[in-house]
Homo-oligomer: A and B are copies of this chain.
Amino acid sequence: MLNEKDIRIIEILMNDARTPYTRIADELGVTEAAIRKRVKNLEEKGIIKKYTIEVDHSKLGYGIVSQTGIDTEPDKFLEVANKLKDFDFVKSIHITSGDHMIMAEIWAKDGEELTEIISKKIGGLEGVRRICPAIVLERVK
């Protein structure tokens, strides 16, 4: 199990993955080497899966972000979910117990591009039945 130091390290890195180990070490009152070891351990156990960046989609020219529910024939949804992975405009895919088995985050330049993506790209995948885009108006957290 994780102890409190590990959890604090994770919180710090989620907030800024570039925080120098020396500063984390100072805060936790341990050596930089101890931090390095703990982070390495978190990476090896797969608790830290990835270092990444968050970007501002509208400044990148994507005017519309859609949380898109996708309904499929029931025996096709894993297949569809896997095919969606290859589209660059699909930023994340979750299988959920909610109104739609597949929830995908899609970025598009504008309404017309989103219409194209839905009708031509996703709508064209075998087994897709219905596509329900919910437009993100604002991200609060």
Contact = CB atoms under 8 A, between A and B. Distances in A.
Interface string A95-138: 11111010110000001101100111011100011111111111
Number of copies of this chain in the oligomer?
8
A75 B138 contact: no
B52 A140 contact: no
Nearest to A134: B98
Interface in A74-97: 74-78, 81-82, 84-85, 90-97
Interface of A: 1-2, 7, 10, 13-18, 45-56, 59-61, 63, 66-67, 69, 71, 73-78, 81-82, 84-85, 90-99, 101, 103-104, 111-112, 114-115, 118-120, 122-124, 128-141
